[in-house]
Copies of this chain bind each other. A is one copy, B any other.
Amino acid sequence: MHKEHPLTKNQQIIFDLIDKSPEPMKAYSILFSVQKKGIKAPLQVYRALDKLVEIGKIHKIESRNAFIACHNSSCQVSKATAFSICEICEKVTEISSTGLSKYLANFKDKDGMKYSKYNLEFFGLCKKCR
């Protein structure tokens, strides 16, 4: 087993920013926020984001091209993700439901195909917007 790698400088800066954000952050908004810390180019941001996604510290909300920190201790790597998204205020919450994740992890389609990874996005109205 590998020891968990510590984050590099750029990765840490960008993770901290996303982790503190109450809402998903987009790449260029991240870029803008970290320019004072010396990260000047899109690629520096995208490379850090790629790595953070790969190791499961953040997730990408595909329908929004935005990133949020993972607060679900059980997902070490981004292979099983589920989110709820408010269609009014765009609030995003990671869903951690044992039932749901078990159901999806064991789902087989009619060809008997099992999947190694999934991403689920639910849309609706959050408490505040209902």
Interface residue ranges, A against B (CB under 8 Å): 62-63, 84, 87, 95, 97, 100, 103-104, 107, 109-111, 113-127
What residues on B are CB-neighbors of A114 within 8 Å?
A: 124
* Contact for A127 among B63, B113, B117, B125, CB less than 8 A: B113
Known contacts A62-B62, A62-B63; decide if A117 and B107 are in contact (CB<8 Å).
no
Is A120's CB under 8 angstroms from B120's CB? yes
Is A124's CB under 8 angstroms from B119's CB? no
Is A119's CB under 8 angstroms from B84's CB? no
Bound-state Cα–Cα, A10 to B121, Å = 30
* Contact for A123 among B87, B103, B116, B124, CB less than 8 A: B116
